[in-house]
C-alpha cells in the first residue's frame, strides 16, 4: 500500500466521483491547481499514471488508478469508522453536534440529511438552532455552535467556510397574476411588476436584489416587506406580487398549481450557495456531518 494522506486520497476520490478537476475543486472548495497538485503527487507516490487526461473529456481511471481508487475508498472508510469509535470514547460533553441553520434550509432541506447522519452516528446529541442569516452568523462568531448553514453569494467575513451545494432561486406568482399567462417574461416585465419580499434591512433581501440586478432588474416596486419567508410565499400565492424565493420552499406549491414559476427570457436567474461557516479546529462530529451533508447534497444534485 502506498503511503498517502487521507486528504490526498479524498481529493483523488472527489476527482473520480465528480468526473473532473474543476468539479472536484468546487466540491472541496479549493482551487483547481491545488486539486491537480494532489493528484500529481499521488501519481509520483504510486509510480504510475492514475488518470488518463484528454482535453474536453472526463478523466478516466487507468488500471493503476482503479487500484488506488479502491484503496482510497477502503482507507477513508476505515478512517471514518475509527473516528466514530473514538467519538464514542469521548466524554459526553464532547459528543454534541451543535449547528445553526437558516430557517428555510432548517425546514425544507436539512431534516432528511440530519436524520440520516444521526442514524449512522449513535451516541451523538444534536442541538440545532434556526434563524435568519444574521442569527446564524452571530451564533458561529460567538462559538455557540460549531457549524452554521446558510445561503450566501460568497465568503463570510471573519469565518472559515466551504460551499456544500447550491440552491436554485425562482420567481413565482399566483396562477391569476398577469405574468402567469406569459410563456416567458422579459426584464421589462419584471421591472414593471410589484414584489413581495423580505425586510429590506435583511441580508436575504440584499442577496435576492443582487440576483435580480444580475439579470437586468435594477429597479423594482416593493408592494410588501415581511420578515417570515413563509408569509412571502403565501402572499405571492394570494396574488400580492412576484416573489423571488428558494426553489426548495415552493416545490409543493408548484406541483399543486398553487404557484407558477416564471420563465425568464435571456439570462436565467442564478441561485445561492449553501455555505457552511465554522471556526477551526472543528469537533470531529461536526467535521463528519459537514462531509456527510456535502455528499448528500452532491448526490441529490446529480
- State the cell numbers at 210: 443582487
Please identify which residue in the block is written with the cell numbers 478516466.
60
Region at 17 (left for phi over 0; alpha for psi -120 to 50; beta for the rest) = alpha
- State the cell numbers at 274: 449553501
Higher pLDDT: 31 or 2? It is 31
- Tell me what pLDDT residue 135 has: 94
- Tell me what pLDDT residue 221 has: 96
- Per-residue buried b or exposed e for 63-82, using 16+ beta carbons within 10 Å of the residue's own CB: eebeebbebbeebeeeeeee
User: Which is it for the CA torsion 282, 286, 287, 290, positive or negative?
Assistant: negative
Q: Whole-model pTM? A: 0.69
Q: What is the C-alpha separation between 50 and 62, in angstroms, rounded?
A: 5
- Tell me what pLDDT residue 93 has: 45
| Cβ contact 169:247 at 8 Å | yes
Q: What is the C-alpha separation between 299 and 20, in angstroms, rounded?
A: 16
Convert the pLDDT of each residue in 211-264 to its tens digit: 999 999 999 999 999 988 889 999 999 999 999 999 999 999 999 999 999 999
Instruction: Report DSSP state, residue 270.
Output: P
Which helix or strand (DSSP H or E) is residue 81 part of? helix 63-89
- What percent of the chain is predicted at pLDDT more than 90? 47
- Tell me what pLDDT residue 92 has: 46
Beta partners for 167? 272
Which domains are delineated in the chain?
6-88 (1.10.10.10), 90-167+273-301 (3.40.190.10), 169-270 (3.40.190.10)
SS in 3 state form for the chain? CCCCCHHHHHHHHHHHHHCCHHHHHHHHCCCHHHHHHHHHHHHHHHCCCCEECCCCCCCEECHHHHHHHHHHHHHHHHHHHHHHHHHHHCCHHHCEEEEEEEHHHHHHCHHHHHHHHHHHCCCCEEEEEEECHHHHHHHHHCCCCCEEEEEECCCCCCCEEEEEEEECEEEEECCCCHHHHCCCECHHHHHHCEEEECCCCCHHHHHHHHHHHHCCCCCCEEEEECCCHHHHHHHHHCCCCEEEEEHHHHHHHHHHCCCEECCECCCCCCCEEEEEEECCCCCHHHHHHHHHHHHHHHHHHC
- Residue 242: CB atoms within 10 A of its CB come to 26
Convert the pLDDT of each residue in 140-196 to its tens digit: 999 999 999 999 999 888 888 999 989 999 999 999 999 999 999 999 999 999 999
Convert the pLDDT of each residue in 42-66 to its tens digit: 888 888 998 998 887 888 999 998 9
| Cβ contact 179:242 at 8 Å | yes
Convert the pLDDT of each residue in 273-296 to its tens digit: 999 999 878 888 888 888 888 888
Kindly tell me if the per-residue pLDDT of 126 is higher than 60: yes
- Tell me what pLDDT residue 301 has: 64
Amino acid at each position: 500500500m502506498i503511503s498517502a494522506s487521507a486528504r490526498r486520497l479524498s481529493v483523488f476520490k472527489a476527482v473520480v466521483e465528480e468526473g473532473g478537476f474543476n468539479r472536484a475543486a468546487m466540491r472541496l472548495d479549493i482551487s483547481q491547481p491545488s486539486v491537480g497538485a494532489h493528484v500529481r503527487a499521488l501519481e509520483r507516490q504510486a509510480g504510475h499514471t492514475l488518470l488518463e487526461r484528454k482535453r474536453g473529456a472526463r478523466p478516466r481511471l487507468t488500471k493503476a488508478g482503479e487500484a488506488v481508487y479502491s484503496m482510497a475508498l477502503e482507507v477513508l472508510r476505515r478512517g471514518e469508522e475509527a473516528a466514530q469509535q473514538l467519538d464514542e470514547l469521548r466524554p459526553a460533553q464532547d459528543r454534541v453536534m451543535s449547528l445553526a441553520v437558516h430557517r428555510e434550509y432548517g425546514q425544507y432541506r436539512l431534516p432528511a440529511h440530519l436524520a440520516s447522519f444521526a442514524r449512522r452516528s449513535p451516541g451523538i446529541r444534536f442541538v440545532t438552532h434556526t434563524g435568519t442569516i444574521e442569527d446564524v452568523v452571530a451564533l458561529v462568531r460567538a462559538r455557540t455552535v460549531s457549524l452554521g448553514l446558510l445561503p450566501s453569494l460568497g465568503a463570510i467575513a471573519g469565518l472559515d467556510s466551504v460551499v456544500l451545494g447550491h440552491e436554485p432561486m425562482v420567481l413565482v406568482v399566483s396562477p391569476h397574476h398577469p405574468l402567469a399567462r406569459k410563456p416567458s417574461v422579459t426584464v421589462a416585465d419584471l421591472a414593471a411588476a410589484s414584489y413581495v419580499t423580505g425586510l429590506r434591512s435583511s441580508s436575504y433581501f440584499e442577496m435576492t436584489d443582487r440576483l435580480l440586478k444580475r439579470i437586468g432588474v435594477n429597479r423594482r416596486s416593493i408592494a410588501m416587506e415581511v420578515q417570515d419567508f413563509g408569509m412571502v410565499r403565501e402572499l405571492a400565492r394570494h396574488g400580492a406580487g412576484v416573489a423571488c424565493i428558494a426553489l426548495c420552499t415552493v416545490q409543493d406549491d408548484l406541483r399543486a398549481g398553487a404557484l407558477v414559476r416564471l420563465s425568464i427570457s435571456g439570462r436565467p436567474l442564478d441561485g445561492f450557495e449553501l455555505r457552511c461557516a465554522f471556526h477551526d479546529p472543528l469537533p470531529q462530529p461536526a467535521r463528519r456531518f459537514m462531509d456527510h451533508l456535502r455528499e448528500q447534497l452532491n448526490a441529490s444534485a446529480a
